[in-house]
Each structure stands twice: as C-alpha cells, then as structure tokens.
A = this chain, B = another copy of it.
Amino acid sequence: MNPVAGHLATRSPLHDILAPRGIAVIGASTDPTKRGYKAMVGLIKDGFRGNIYPVNPGADMILGVRAWPSVADLPGTPELALICTPAPSVPGLIRECGRRGIQGAVILASGFAEMDAAGASLQDEMMAAARAHGVRLIGPNTSGVFNLHHRLNLLALDNVKPGDVGIVSQSGNMLLSLALEAQHNGQVGFSTYVGPGNQTDLGFNDYLRYLGEDRHTRVATLYVEGFRDGRKFLEVAREVAAMKPVVVYKSGSTAQGQRSASSHTGALAGSYAMTVDLLRQSGVSVVQHSDEILPVAEGLGLLQKADGRRVAVIADGGGQATIAADRLAEAGLSLATLSEVTRARLREALLPQASTANPVDVAGSTDAHPSLLATCMEIVAADPGVDSVFLVGMFGGYSTRFAESLLGDEMRGAEAMVDLANATHKPLVIYSLYAPIKPPALRRLHEAGLPVYASIEHAVRVLAALGERGDYLARAHGQAREAAFAPLPARAADIARARAEGRDLLEVEARQLLRDHGVAVPEERLVRDADELAEVASAFGETPLAMKVVSRDILHKSDAGGVRLDLVGEPALRAARAEILAACRDHAPGADIEGVLVTPMARKGVEVIVGVIRDPIFGPVLMFGLGGIFVEILEDVAFRAIPLSRHDARAMVDQVRARRILEGARGAPGVDQAALVELLLSVSRLVEAYPGLEALDLNPVIARDDGYSVVDARVIVERDPHHKETTA
C-alpha cells in the first residue's frame, strides 16, 4: 500500500516522521502565546487524523485532548514528538523519547550551538542522546514543520492549502512570506515544509531527498543561507533534479549580505558565484530575487520544462511586446523565427494590420474576439521552431475593458488554452495586466493548472527556468562524469615525498605530472650545472627561451629575481643563470637551489587560467577564466565541482563573459576551444586520481588556434598535520 515501498532501501526516515500516526506535543500549553498551544490548535483545526498526545505534567486536558504527565506515561507510541520546552530540558526529553521508541523529534528551542559555548555542549549532549536511542532530530532552533497532505500543521499557519510545492527554508519569515503570496495567488498550495534550524542531525540533504521521494511534491523549493555539507547536497540535488524541479534561493550574493547572514546564523557563506555555478551544474534552478521564488516554483511545478529557448510571443499591444522581447533577450531566450506556414496561418486568422513576425502583434484583431488569442497560440505552438508560447497583454480583461458581452468568447478562449495545454508538451506562459483583479477567464486558466503572471518580468523568469531545465534534462543530466585517471606510482611518490617534506611539487615535478596525463606542457630542461647550457642552447637553436629558478624554498620566483625571458644562445643563457642564482641567493640566503628550468617561450595567444581549489563546503572545484584583468578585476570565472562531465567542461568555456575573445575578437583568430575542454577534463581526472593533491594553478595557459601551452604550473600538496612547516 505504501507508494514508495519499492525503494525501501534508500527511503528517507522522514516519511514516517512527517506522516506519523501519532504525535506527542511535549510542552503542550493552554497559554495562547506559547508554541505548545499553537501547535495543538494547528493539529486540531487542520483535522490531524492520528493520535495527539499532549505532554504536560501540570494539566489533565489541553484544548479538550487528554494530556499526559510525561512521555513514559503515553498509552501508545507516536512516531513524532514536537518539543516546545526550553533548551536545557531537551537532552533528557530526547532520552525519554528514545526509550519510548519515538522515531523523530522536532525541537523548537533556540539556545544551542548558534548561541554560545554552553549551548554548543548542550547540543552535543542532545545529539549523543539521539544517537544512543536512534531518534532523528529536526532542529533545534527550527521554525517547525508541516505536512499538509497529512494534516500535520505544527506551525498553525492559517490559509495555506495542500498542494505540490515542498519547501525547506532557513528563514521562518520566508515561509510566511511564500504562504501569504500563495494565499493571495489563490492557486498555489504546499506539500511539506521543514525549517532545518541548526541541522544538528538531519539537514538540507535529508530534506531535499525526502521531497524528491515525496509523491505529493512536484517541485522542491529551498531558501538557503548556508550549506553544512555542500558536496553531499550537490549529489542529492543531481538525483532529485532528474525527477522533479529543484528551486534554490541562496542568500548572501554580496559581501554585505554575507556579513548579515553570518551574524545571525554563524554559517560560512562561501563564494556566491561559485555556489550558483555548482548548483546549476547539479540541475538546480537558481532564483536570484526573493520575489521570484514563488512564481518560478509555481511555473516549474505546473509546466516542468521547455525543450529549448525559442519563445513565440503573442501580444495585443506593441509596448508590452517590446518589454517582453527585451526581458527575453536579457534572460538568454530568443524570439523564435516563425515559419512561413505559421505566418500564413496567422495572417488568415488576423486583420491585415497585424504583425505576424515574432512578437506577433494582433493589432486590434482580438478586440471583439478575444478567443482569437487562443487560436494564435495554437498556431504558433504547432510550429516546430517554437519551444514555448508566451501570451502577453489584456487577456481576461476584454470583457471588463471593451464590452461585457465578450465574456462568453473570452471564456471559450480560456477553454481553448486549457485544451491546448493538454494537447501540447510546449509550455504556455501567460502574462495578463488583469491578473491582479482575477477576472473569470484567468481564474479558469489558473484552476486548470495554467499559471497567470501579473508581471512580465516574473513570467520571463519562469520561461528562462523552463528552458534551463529542459536544457539540463536533455544535455547535462545523465552525462557521465569523466572517471579519474589511474594514478602513476612515480607521480604518487613525488606527491608523497613533497608531503613528507612539507612542500609543494617542484615545477619540474608538476610539469611531469601534467605531461604524464596528456596535458600539453612545453618541453623543458632542468639545468643543474652551467656546463649543461651549451647542449641546451644547441638543442633549442633559435627558439627564444625562458629560464626559471627551481627551489623548494622559493615560492614566488619572479619576486626573487628567479625568472629571465627571451633568451637565445649559450652566452645569454649563461648570463641569465648567473643573474638568477645571484638574485635568489640574495633574496633567500639559505635557499636550497636545485637548478634552473629552461623552456621555450610560449607563442602569443590568449591567456587563460585553470585552477583547482578544495572548497571547505563543496570540496574540489575547478575554475576557468581568462587571465589578467578578467579574473582579477572582472571576476569573470566559471566554476564546476569535480569530477566534470564533458558537458560541464564545454559549459565552463561557454559561460565566461569574455568568450568572444576565445572566439577571435578584434581580428585575432579564435582559440582551439576543444583543446581547452580536453584540458579541463584532464585536470578534473588528474585531481581525482591523486587525493594528496590539495590545489592546482595553471596560470597562465596560453590558448592558441592550434592548441594551448601551460606556461606556469603550481601544484599544492596537502600538508601533513604532523610535519613542521619550514618553508620561508
């Protein structure tokens, strides 16, 4: 009978906890200002079908329900306990719940790790009790939970109706705001809400997995201030996004916002741009304005996806057609080019002054026949060059604006749109300037599951999210992430040796590591003695050479005077070596200098940067950007979590704003982008192969029309915590 019984192996424990047959309300109260009162009211008013066990040693009855002095006294075993009592009581209560066999507890109290050290140790005690007894915890410091399809409303929120939007929000006010917007909207309903609070036990990852499995949820919507285990979250998001849309608003897009968030959550915010890239890589629809959360969740929930980004606009006024065209372009969507057949059919349906190019402007044709708008939508939806249909203008208001007698035709138009939505897989998105006053035709559309927006801007965000989601499902999801290289024993030994010595790889070692895994690093010679220079000079001939010091004690070679460029011939090499050695001995007197590295100068091209960092939240992350001002001033960088798929690598190159330079701007030839994609994939596979590799910096890489060369390579090795740092 259980709809997800087939998945028991991975089934979330939250299904039982959030759909309990019984609930203990610990700290139930008759004082209307207390949460222990509100929760009782919410359960009773919403008609919770299971057993309610108020627990309060000082009362026999609460709101007409028999109360019990303690958890131990309960006549049955509820799956869930709501704990409304203050923090110090919680560890003991968790033990009591555990002994009684209660599976999960929602802990409202604050005053734990988010407050001070005493709170943190109370939290540890609570977690120890929970682990010992197998009780799963939601919170503490949570705004609460609801599961409206189970009539479990522990927030006692009025006027929320059951529906298919599931919510996890680190802000209780944000839930309230969404609930009020939904109430105003009239059609959006909710499935489950969870406030994760301190995420001491269960966290975002668990809640998202649950929403993914929950059959009542068609779209998972999250307001996030900070992740606890970001890497795990990305994995869960990938799994869930394959099944249903996942919408995330991540706060802290600016330093000012991050300071504000950390002042009240203590959470580590991380780079916003990186977080957005990684979430999108995992199939998440990222929303960047808080007032777009509900519109996008509603639109994705109802319409799911578009197969592409070519939008056909049907408008009954030029001004709003233009606004729509502007917003679509800004959102990366295009106006579909309508076929001649489509335009001929439109011409047949409309008056001669109508414009049948996209945006289609009916130019008065529908003033007395609003249902013609539905006909136009049918016509453009049938065009294979159209991925989604956007109706813009007065629909729903014709009978108000022009003549009441148009109501019948307008309602027929609404029915035709509903029929079209059922017949086509292409999403129909409707903006009406009459949406705020909800005329009958718009109510009909809404009831039938067609969202109607009161803002062109919000409608376009929905179209963009539908296009992105379609793109993700068609191209990104399911693309295999490239497997790690087989590690080479010699290279692993280099890394182990560096780690033992508490240093990074020498440049020669780094270059060898890269070269051994197919990365194009120019030929080099490590010169330990001046006598070798004659042979080196003759080997390279007329090719201009670069010379760099090799020393485990000198990290910043240029600063130490350890780099000389554009050298040709033995005398120049000899002079450069002498200068380098003198400058480095001067700069770092005790430095152990291995020798100098000699390589051909890279031919001219476009400077790019490839880097790997280990992010404390998201783990190993690859970054790509153009060198110089693009990274340093414009912060024009693409991020992806390692391991990458081929699609990810390609998308990184496409994403940077400076891609026009890669394509060959200002008369220069374009660079070999396919080679850059291979480079990104190789770096991803290499990082996966050698766990001791902490970070990597290829800066610059010179990209050209015939490939690329890594000019400078730095490989940072994980430090052995027991090794004493000696590097100057």
Contacts and interface: CB of A to CB of B under 8 A. Distances in A.
Interface of A: 32-33, 115, 158, 169-174, 176-177, 180-181, 183-184, 223, 225, 251-257, 259-261, 263-265, 289-291, 316-330, 334-335, 353, 355, 357, 359, 361, 363, 368, 393-394, 397, 400-403, 433-434, 436-437, 454-458, 628-629, 632-634, 657-658, 660-661, 665-666
Given A290-B456, A437-B183, A457-B291, A319 B254 contact: no
Contact of A257 (B254, B289, B326): B326
Scoring A260, A629, A661 by chain B CB atoms within 10 A of each residue's CB, the highest score goes to A260
A212 to B, nearest CB: 23
A261 B172 CA distance: 44
Nearest to A436: B184
22 contacts: A32-B403, A115-B353, A158-B400, A171-B317, A173-B319, A176-B397, A180-B433, A181-B436, A183-B436, A183-B437, A184-B437, A253-B330, A260-B321, A260-B326, A264-B361, A289-B327, A290-B323, A290-B456, A290-B457, A291-B455, A291-B457, A629-B658
Contacts of A397: 176, 180
A225 B290 contact: no
Most buried by B among A251, A318, A320: A318
A355 B32 contact: no
- A32, A33, A256, A323 — most chain B CB neighbours (10 Å): A323
A254 B291 contact: no
A685 B628 CA distance: 36
A173 B317 contact: yes
B335 A256 contact: yes
A256 B33 CA distance: 56
Copies in the complex: 2
B436 A319 contact: no
A225 B319 contact: yes
Nearest 8 pairs between A and B by C-beta?
A: A171-B319, A257-B326, A173-B317, A264-B318, A254-B329, A184-B436, A177-B433, A256-B329
A436 B186 CA distance: 12
B171 A325 contact: no
Contact of A326 (B254, B265, B403, B457): B254
A33 B398 CA distance: 12
A355 B254 contact: no
A458 B291 contact: yes
A254 to B, nearest CB: 4
Contacts of A33: 368, 402-403
A457 B289 contact: yes
A340 to B, nearest CB: 18
B434 A180 contact: yes
Contacts of A324: 260
A324 B223 CA distance: 14
A437 B180 contact: yes
Interface centre among A171, A319, A324, A657, by most chain B C-beta atoms within 10 angstroms, is A319
Given A318-B265, A320-B177, A403-B32, A256 B326 contact: yes
Contact of A633 (B172, B223, B363, B661): B661
A176 B435 CA distance: 12
A225 B359 CA distance: 16
Contacts of A320: 171, 173-174, 177, 290
A315 to B, nearest CB: 8
Contact of A325 (B183, B259, B629, B633): B259
